[in-house]
Structure 1
Amino acid sequence: MATFLIQRALSSVKAPKTLSRHLTTSAAAVTAAAATQTPPEAAPSSPFTFNDDANDNICIRSPRPQTTASSSYSSSVTMPMSFMTGSIVGKRFYKQVTTRESDDGIGWSVMLDYRTLKTPSKRPLKLPTLGLAKAIAAEWEYQQTDGIRPFTMPLMKLACTALERVPLTRPKVIEHLMKKFNQDLVFCRAPDDNDLTSDVHERQVEKIDPLLEWLNSEFGFKPVVYSSFFGGKQEDGLVKAVEDLLKKTNDCELAAIDAMAAAAHSLVIAIALFRGRLQIEEAIELIRLEEDVQVDKWGLVEGGHDIDIADLKVQISSAVVFLGLSRRT
C-alpha cells in the first residue's frame, strides 16, 4: 500500500522516473523491515539526537481559547520528541492527508484533516517543494489506525532534521563528518597476503578502486589506502576540499549527506551519491562488500543479514530520494 500511495503522490507532481523508482524501493524496504522486526532501538551514528523528554502524546493545539461552540477546533498538530526515536507515538487520529502551499507562499505544508503538521519543536513543517510534501503526506497516509510508527516515515524524520537540527548545529555536523573521514570505509583495504582476506581484497580492488579514481579526478588529490585498524591520514588538500564542499551545501543537502554517511560508514560514498557518481544499488553493494563476501562463502543468516540489508536499503534510498525531492527545479 505504501508503494501505491507514493507512486500516486509522485505522479501528481510529475517527479522524475528515477526518483519515483527509488522512492518505491524505499517504501517497499520500509514495509519489509517493519514486517520482520520491532522499531529499531538505535539509529546509525549521527550527531542528530532528539532527547525524549516529552511524553508520547501527540499535541493538537488551537490558536485561540476553546469555547463550547468550537471545542473541537484546532489548527495544528505537533509531534512529540519521541517521534525521532522510533517508538509508537499514538493512535491515528486523522482521516485525510493533504498538502497545501504555506501561508507565506514559500514552501509547502502537510495537512492532517484541517490541521497543519508541525515538527517536534512546534515549528510548521514547511517543505521546499511540492514533491517532497506529497511524499511525506504519503507516509502519513500509510499509517495504521492502531498507532503511528515513525520508523516507517524516514522522509518525515529527515525533514525534521533538516529544518530543526542542521540550522542550529551546522558546524558541529561538518566537524563530526570530517572527524571520521580518515577512517572512511573506502580507504580501508583488506590484506592481500592472507587466505582469509584475499577474496575481500580482490573485490575491493575491482569495485572500490574506480570510486577512488573518481575522487582523485573530482578533488585533485589521490586518496591513500591502508590496511591498519587504526586508519591512515589523507592529504590535507583532500580533507580541505571535502570540507569546503560540505560548507557549500544547504540544510536539506547536509542532512541527507549526514544520513547517508552514517548508514554507509563512509563520507566518500555519501558524496558520490550526492554528486550522482553512484546509484543506490551501487552504493549498497560497496557498503556491504566485505559482508557479502562472507555471505557468499558461509551463507546468509535469516533474521540477521536479511534485516540488516532491508534497513540499509531504507536508510540509503530514503536519503537519496529526500535529497532529490528537496531540490527546486
Structure 2
Amino acid sequence: MSLFVPPSPEKKPFSIRHLNSVATAEQQPPSDAPSSSSSFAFSSDGSNNEKNEDDSVYLRAPRNPNRRRDSSSVTMPMSFMTGSIVGKRFYNQVTTREADDGNGWTVMLDYRTLKTPSKRPLKLPTLALAKAIAAEWEYQQIDGIRPFTMPLMKLACTALERVPLTRTKIIEHLMKKFNQDLVFCRAPDDNDLTSYVYDRQVEKIDPLLHWVESEFGFKPVVYSSFYGGKQEDGLFMAVENLLKKTDDCELAAIDAIAAASHSLVIALALVSGRLQIEEAIELTRLEEDLQMDRWGLVEGGHDVDIADLRVQISSASVFLGLSRSL
C-alpha cells in the first residue's frame, strides 16, 4: 500500500531517499575577502554583541591565535529556529553551487557555505530547493534577518537535523493524535445550531474519508465526541507503516502540515496529491469559516489565523515538491 506524490497530473509513488550528511569541503575565501578577525556574534536573545561570550553563537569563527583561521562558512544561531531576529544582514550576494562530492546542493552567502544551527552544511537534495532557499536569504533586509520569512529554510533544517534523530518520536506523536483527527470529528445533526455544520462536513469531508478507505482498506470511524473515538487497529497500523517508509523531507512536511491542520489525514492527502493546498486549507477551517459567515470576521484574529495557516501549509507543500524536483 502506498501514497502517490504528483509532481505532474500523473501520480507517482513515494520515493524513499536518504540525505547524505557528508560535510561539504569548505571553500577558501577570495584574496579580497574580509578578515576573519571581524567576527559576528549573536546571543540567545538575538542581540548583536561585539565581545566574545560563552553563550554566543558565531556566524564566523572567533579569532584564536592557536587555531587556523576559518571564514569559509556561516553557521546560523539556534535562535533562527525560534523565529527571533538574529542580526543585521552581513552578506551581499547569495548563490548556489553543487556540493563538492556531487551529492546535493549548497547555498553560498558571498564566499561562505551556509550551515545549519548544529554546524552541518545545509546540503539540499535538489537545485530547485537550493535556489528557493537562496531566494529567501536574498529577500532579507539590511536591518535584520527575519527567520519567520524563511519557512523553507526552517523546514530544510528540520529535515536535515531533527527528523533523522527523532524520527521514531515524530511518528509516535503523529499516531498518538490520529484517533482525534479533525476529519473524524462530526458535528451533531440533531441540533439547529450545528446541523448546518454537519451538512457541510458530509459534503466536504466524506469524499476524503472514502479516499482513506480505498487507500488503506479500512473504513474510518466518525464520532461527535470532543474526546475522539478509536479507529480500527488495521487502519492505525497501515498509516503508521506508511509514515515509517517516508524519507526525511517527506516526514518533515507531513509533520508540519499535520500540526497546522490538526489532521494527519489532511497532511497525507495533500502530500499524496489527493488534496490541493486550497482544499486542505478549506477543510481545516471548515467549521470556523461557517462561524465567520454567520457572525462575521474578527479583524486581527481570524484574518491573522488564515494567513498563518496558508503560510504553514503552503510552505510545507512547496518544500516537499521542490525536494523532488530535478
TM-score (norm 1): 0.81
1:146 is aligned to: 143
- Residues 183-262 of structure 1 correspond to what in structure 2 (within 5 A)? 183-262=180-259
3-state SS, counterpart of residue 109 of structure 1: strand
Q: In structure 1, how many angstroms separate the alpha carbons of the residues matched to 2:78 and 2:325?
A: 29
Matched with 2:127 is: 130
> Do 2:45 and 2:84's aligned partners in 1 also have CA atoms closer than 8 Å?
no
Deviation string, structure 1 residues 46-75 (Cα, Å, up to 9, x no partner): xxxxxx9946366233599679xx98x710
Deviation of the 1:105 alpha carbon: 1.1
Deviations along 1:192-251, whole A, 9 cap, x unmatched? 111111111111000000000000000000000000011000000000000010000000
Whether 1:166 and 2:163 are equivalent positions in the alignment is yes
For residue 80 of structure 2, what is the amino acid of its counterpart? Answer: F
Match of 2:102 in 1: 105
Between the aligned partners of 1:300 and 1:230, the Cα distance in structure 2 is 28
| Cα distance, 1:233–1:260 mapped onto 2, change above 3 Å | same
Partner amino acid, structure 1, of 2:205:
I
Q: Aligned equivalents of 2:292 and 2:61: distance in 1?
A: 55
Q: Give the letter for the 1:187 counterpart.
A: F
The residue identity in structure 1 corresponding to 2:194 is: T
The reply on whether 1:61 has 2:60 as its aligned counterpart is: yes
| Cα distance between partner residues in 1 of 2:105 and 2:120 | 13
- 1:111-160 deviations in Å (ceiling 9; x for gaps): 00111100000100000000000000000000011000000000000000
Q: Are the counterparts in 2 of residues 53 and 81 from structure 1 also a CA contact under 8 Å?
A: no
User: Equivalents in 2 of 1:167, 1:54: separation in Å?
Assistant: 25
1:277: which partner in 2?
A: 274
Following superposition, the deviation at residue 103 of structure 1 comes to: 1.7
CA RMSD of aligned residues (A): 2.2
Q: Secondary structure at the match of 2:95?
A: strand
Counterpart code for 1:188: C
- Distance in 1 between the 2:77 and 2:8 partners? 34
Report SS of the residue matched to 1:110: strand
Q: Could you say which residue in structure 2 is the equivalent of 1:13?
A: none
SS at match of 2:154: helix
Q: Distance in 2 between matches of 1:232 and 1:186?
A: 12
In 1, Cα distance between equivalents of 2:288 and 2:316: 22
The structure-2 alpha-carbon separation of the partners of 1:105 and 1:65, relative to structure 1 and needing over 3 Å to count, comes to farther
Taking structure 2 as the reference length, what is the TM-score of the superposition?
0.81
Deviation of the 1:274 alpha carbon:
1.0
Structure 2 distance, partners of 1:128, 1:66, is: 37
> Matches of 1:110 and 1:213 in 2, distance apart?
43
CA distance in 2, matches of 1:106, 1:207: 43
SS at match of 1:215: helix
Query: Could you tell me how far apart the structure 2 residues matched to 1:81 and 1:63 are?
Result: 17
Query: Helix, strand or coil for the counterpart of 2:59?
Result: strand
Identity level (%): 82
Q: SS of 1:116's equivalent?
A: strand
Amino acid at match of 1:209: D
1:324 and 2:321 matched: yes
Name the amino acid aligned to 2:265.
V
The 5 A counterparts of 1:84-99 are: 84-99=81-96
> Counterpart of 1:319 in 2: which secondary structure?
helix
Write out per-residue CA displacement over residues 284-308 of structure 1, whole angstroms, 9 at most, x where no aligned residue. 0000000000000011111111110
Q: 2: distance between equivalents of 1:128 and 1:113? A: 21
Larger Rg: 2
Are the aligned partners of 2:59 and 2:77 in contact in 1 as well (CA < 8 Å)? no
Change (3 A) 1:304 1:55: closer
Which secondary structure state, in structure 1, belongs to the residue aligned with residue 113 of structure 2? strand
> Would you say the 8 A contact 2:126–2:324 is kept in 1?
yes
Structure 1 gaps, min length 5: 1-15, 19-51
Secondary structure class of the residue paired with 1:208: helix
